[in-house]
Structure 1
Amino acid sequence: MLAARSRFATVAKRAFASQAEGAKATAAAPDKKYKVVVVGAGPGGLSVSSTLSKMLGKDQVAVIDPAQHHYYQPLWTYVGGGLKDFRESVRPMESVVPEKADWIQERVTKLDPDNNQVKLADGKTVGYDYLVVAAGIQINWDQVKGLKETLGKNGVTSNYSAESVQKTYKFIQEFKGGNALFTFPNTPLKCPGAPTKIVFLAEEAFRLNGVRDKTNVIYNTSLGKIFGVDHYGKVLQRLADERGIQVNFQTELIEIQSDNRKAIFRNNANKELKTFDYDFLHVAPPQGAPTFIKESKLADAAGFVDVNKGTLRSNKYNNVFSLGDCSNLPTSKTAAAITAESGVLKRNLIAQMEGKEIREEEYDGYTSCPLIVGREQLILAEFSGYTGQPLETFPVDQRTVSSVAQYLNMEIIPSIYWNGLLNGVWTGPSAFRNAMSPLRKD
């Protein structure tokens, strides 16, 4: 009898536990629900929410982002190089969020795609029919020991921080000679050309300031070459050699000792450590997927949103799309890539909402990395991150250093960004590229 009671108690406990798990799986009703929820008010999120809120009307689209300001970050290289004012790169978030979209100024803590919900830091939940994840990339300052504590002090800076970028040119101007170190991390990062651009701008500034002959310009990159696409990388390496820039490959920054101005690097080929003295140090910090994405069912093994590289739709949930830096699209994480990605995503999402088939293999990996190599010098690199082949807009060899391309990147493209991309109108230069194709020499 006792044995029978014991078995009954065990079965009852299991049944109760099973019911409890079932209750957990069924989420409570969200505090508010929208047709489309967009996580992130960067260029990708604003482009998508602008188009869809115009199409669907008020109370149908929500944008979730805690930031008070929106930054045009491609301008920060010019800010760090002393060519642009930081104020040109920033606008109040409320001025760029689409008028017909609801802006939820809160931080996301959890994505729950099984229940079509997003949980916020204030404890509230937002429901959706369709989700667009455009949350950008997370900068992990703590992955380099000592970086967070010394950033913005004693010649240590980074153009990847809104605060420290405003000190970069000041430190460059105060530099009187010695070792000028520049780094590239062993992680994905937004605008992978940016760490190289500031090397060239600083080297030119040292020449103009009359301290170049007393300066060692050293670029330590974790990569195996100066730029991932050889079509442009070979030109970039030649310029670095001509200007006496020492490039050390497979060399990753792991620690800064600010007390004695030493930076410790690890050789990723043989794991040996090497210490460099520095008088100026520009750091491109380690980066990765936002934590709330990494912890969700939307993530791939590396923590980025797992999407189809042609359609930008989640490989796991049909009502979820993603673009930009937080996605695992195998192309460079740049604002230029987002222009093309946003057009593809919007067409496919709208088609799905209308019950139509989405177009397979539409996004071709287009991205651009304007490689600044001087105050009036730029190589306009445009290519597919999928193939590594050029996808150039203009009927010229864009590997040629150009002052016209520099003007385009400094003055014209920022206007297109603010007035075209964020408003959902600009979806990349493919139409211009196709129009100019007959003029292009093979």
Structure 2
Amino acid sequence: MTIRTLTPALRVSPQIDPADVAGLAASGFRSIICNRPDDEEGGQPSAAMVAAAAEAHGLRFRHVPVVPGAMGEGDAAAMARALAELPGPVLAYCRSGARSEQLAAMAAARGEGGGTACYDILVIGGGSAGIATAASILRRRPDVSLAIVEPSEDHYYQPGWTMVGGGVFAAEVTRRGEAGLIPAGAEWIRGAAASFDPANDRVTLVDGRVIGYGALIVCPGLKLDWDAIPGLGATLGSNGVTSNYRYDLAPYTDRLVRRFRGGRALFTQPPMPIKCAGAPQKAMYLSCHRWERAGLLGQADVQFHNAAPALFGVAAYVPALESYIARYGIDLQLESRLVSIDGTAKVALFEQKRGDMVRRVEERFDMIHVVPPQVAPDFIAASPLAAPSGFIAVDEATLRHPLHVNVFALGDVAATTNAKTAAAARKQAPVAALNALAALDGAAPVAAYNGYGSCPLTVEAGKIILAEFGYGGKLLPTFPKWLIEGTRPSRLSWLLKEKILPPLYWHGMLRGREWLAAPEPLGKGG
């Protein structure tokens, strides 16, 4: 069997036999494409037989049958989609290999072949920001070609993890399959981005596939840097060390709080930026409230070590939060950063700024809720799209890159000064959708994002301080004061968090329904 190399990601060959697949897998192939119709000649192995052998050896398989002399644009498009979706290297075969080679050339002539697909809009990241933006785009323009690059098979409603750690939600209700959330009309490319070539409108994936685009939307989230705190990775999920920032650990938070009978409980918050700046406090307040109801708060020595110089970044919400710090008897340690942890000895080391002095203090613990430092993903920080912070440089209003007019970013990865919350992504998604479509049409941005973010601060079971604010800390309440006074704890805000926001997320935001998130025209004040 003679194998011809067309590109590093694609090779072609004559008809293969199921018995050949083991050797192909051993030589490094990860996918196979059959370009022959079944029963083209006697004794020909069927596509199903080769597919079964491929599956048995861990290879992906796709059947794109074409008839010699009758290949058209539809066949070339189908070949291009297969090459975009399958991990490389790919072996394509037909009777002699010539048909596969010709089909690859036809796809390449469309700007999509030889392992390279091209879409009107390419979305990097299938989390809340990516799915919401893709859905908003396709609701406006269903005929646009759009693909979402996302490696994970699972999708999480991360705002629910606070409630999981608080014993309110079961972890399972915060997880759904990614496949069921991909908007109709979008292609899901199962893979991870590795690098960007914005000068040539291309993205290279980890497996070597190259994807072209007319407009690019980047929203893969941020990186939870657990390894930045020595000792943390080795003890997470044991020795009383937990975090609501991971799906598998939030239930452990719940167990630790339920089994707590007294002792020292530490809660930490790293330097900004982090996902949901209120989440570290939420875990603490819900824990304290449970101990209060159980009559155990008097036996609890609770400390909050916050690396920031203030309890919360928007001053209007601080008085209400301070009242709960006092109510629960919490020892508030500002400008105190966790720098290492010894889970076996149950000792945490903090670096504290006190005036002009910096000191290191060891604190023992019975339980500790840790929030890790958070940074841009490595492939983002090393890319030509990155700002000095490592996050993607964008205009804060239009979410467009300052140098590349067809590149946009939103969600946690964008180098914007808003709070990194799901509510922010909900407001950003339609702005990115409108402006990406405008770029695709060769027009200037048309919509603006005002920095809105929301942080429902769960200060006790049944009450929430609904913090809503935009750029510069400007208060941006959704509801009138007579309904919800955001700077004070509210039972109605708890109802919003517990009952309304989850379905709004799953059935509204991720479906492109822009309830309470209509984009503002560019140039409008406020």
Tell me the TM-score normalized by structure 1: 0.88
Q: Cα offset for 1:111?
A: 1.7
| Structure 1 Cα separation of the partners of residues 402 and 515 of structure 2 | 23
| Structure 1 Cα separation of the partners of residues 272 and 487 of structure 2 | 26
Residue pairs, 1:171-190, within 5 angstroms = 171-190=256-275
Q: Cα offset for 1:378?
A: 0.4
| Structure 1 Cα separation of the partners of residues 436 and 196 of structure 2 | 19
Consecutive aligned runs of 4 or more in structure 1 exceeding 4 Å deviation = 54-59
Structure 2 counterpart of 1:291: 378
| Structure 2 Cα separation of the partners of residues 359 and 381 of structure 1 | 28
Structure 2 counterpart of 1:305: 392
Structure 1 counterpart of 2:495: 407
| Structure 2 Cα separation of the partners of residues 428 and 112 of structure 1 | 36
Is 1:49 aligned to 2:134, yes or no?
Answer: yes
Structure 2 counterpart of 1:220: 305
Letter matched to residue 171 of structure 1 = L
Would the aligned equivalents of 1:312 and 1:323 in 2 still touch at CA under 8 Å? yes
| Structure 2 Cα separation of the partners of residues 427 and 181 of structure 1 | 38
Would the aligned equivalents of 1:180 and 1:279 in 2 still touch at CA under 8 Å? yes
Letter matched to residue 463 of structure 2 = Q
Secondary structure of the equivalent of 1:271?
strand
Structure 2 counterpart of 1:367: 453
Residue pairs, 1:335-414, within 5 angstroms = 335-359=422-446, 362-384=448-470, 386-396=471-481, 397-414=485-502
Q: 1:422 aligns with which of 501, 504, 510?
A: 510
Would the aligned equivalents of 1:144 and 1:255 in 2 still touch at CA under 8 Å? yes
Secondary structure of the equivalent of 1:284?
coil
Q: Cα offset for 1:46?
A: 0.4
Secondary structure of the equivalent of 1:415?
helix
Deviation digits for residues 178-225 of structure 1, max 9, x if unmatched? 110000012411111100001100001112233211111110000111
Gap regions ≥5 residues in structure 2 = 1-112, 520-526
Is 1:314 aligned to 2:392, yes or no?
Answer: no
Letter matched to residue 311 of structure 1 = T
Letter matched to residue 405 of structure 2 = N
Whose relative contact order is higher, 1 or 2, with alpha carbons under 8 Å and at least 6 apart?
A: 1
Q: Cα offset for 1:424?
A: 1.2
Is 1:67 aligned to 2:152, yes or no?
Answer: yes
Q: 1:131 aligns with which of 216, 228, 234?
A: 216
Deviation digits for residues 75-94 of structure 1, max 9, x if unmatched? 10000000111111110000
Tell me the TM-score normalized by structure 2: 0.74
Number of paired residues?
403
Q: Cα offset for 1:271?
A: 2.5
Q: Cα offset for 1:400?
A: 2.0
Is 1:240 aligned to 2:325, yes or no?
Answer: yes
Q: What's the Cα RMSD here?
A: 1.8
Letter matched to residue 433 of structure 2 = K
More displaced 10-residue stretch of structure 1: 275-284 or 236-245: 236-245
Structure 2 counterpart of 1:323: 410
More displaced 10-residue stretch of structure 1: 366-375 or 103-112: 103-112
Secondary structure of the equivalent of 1:171?
helix
Q: Cα offset for 1:351?
A: 2.2
| Structure 2 Cα separation of the partners of residues 153 and 401 of structure 1 | 33
Is 1:82 aligned to 2:170, yes or no?
Answer: no
| Structure 2 Cα separation of the partners of residues 239 and 29 of structure 1 | 61
Secondary structure of the equivalent of 2:472?
coil
| Structure 1 Cα separation of the partners of residues 385 and 115 of structure 2 | 20
Q: Cα offset for 1:57?
A: 4.3
Residue pairs, 1:109-258, within 5 angstroms = 109-258=194-343
| Structure 1 Cα separation of the partners of residues 385 and 442 of structure 2 | 23
| Structure 2 Cα separation of the partners of residues 250 and 158 of structure 1 | 20
More displaced 10-residue stretch of structure 1: 207-216 or 412-421: 207-216
Secondary structure of the equivalent of 1:398?
coil
Letter matched to residue 44 of structure 1 = A
Secondary structure of the equivalent of 2:430?
helix
Q: Cα offset for 1:59?
A: 7.7
Secondary structure of the equivalent of 1:148?
helix
Letter matched to residue 458 of structure 2 = I
Would the aligned equivalents of 1:180 and 1:278 in 2 still touch at CA under 8 Å? yes
More displaced 10-residue stretch of structure 1: 292-301 or 349-358: 349-358
Secondary structure of the equivalent of 2:332?
strand
Letter matched to residue 198 of structure 2 = P
Deviation digits for residues 68-126 of structure 1, max 9, x if unmatched? 11000001000000011111111000011112111111111112212211111111111
Letter matched to residue 492 of structure 2 = V
Would the aligned equivalents of 1:341 and 1:427 in 2 still touch at CA under 8 Å? no
| Structure 1 Cα separation of the partners of residues 461 and 347 of structure 2 | 30
Letter matched to residue 201 of structure 1 = L
| Structure 1 Cα separation of the partners of residues 368 and 154 of structure 2 | 27
Letter matched to residue 82 of structure 1 = G
Secondary structure of the equivalent of 1:422?
helix
Secondary structure of the equivalent of 1:210?
coil
Secondary structure of the equivalent of 1:311?
coil
- C-alpha change, 1:30 and 1:297, in structure 2 (3 Å) is farther
Q: Cα offset for 1:176?
A: 1.6
Secondary structure of the equivalent of 1:66?
coil
| Structure 2 Cα separation of the partners of residues 312 and 29 of structure 1 | 32
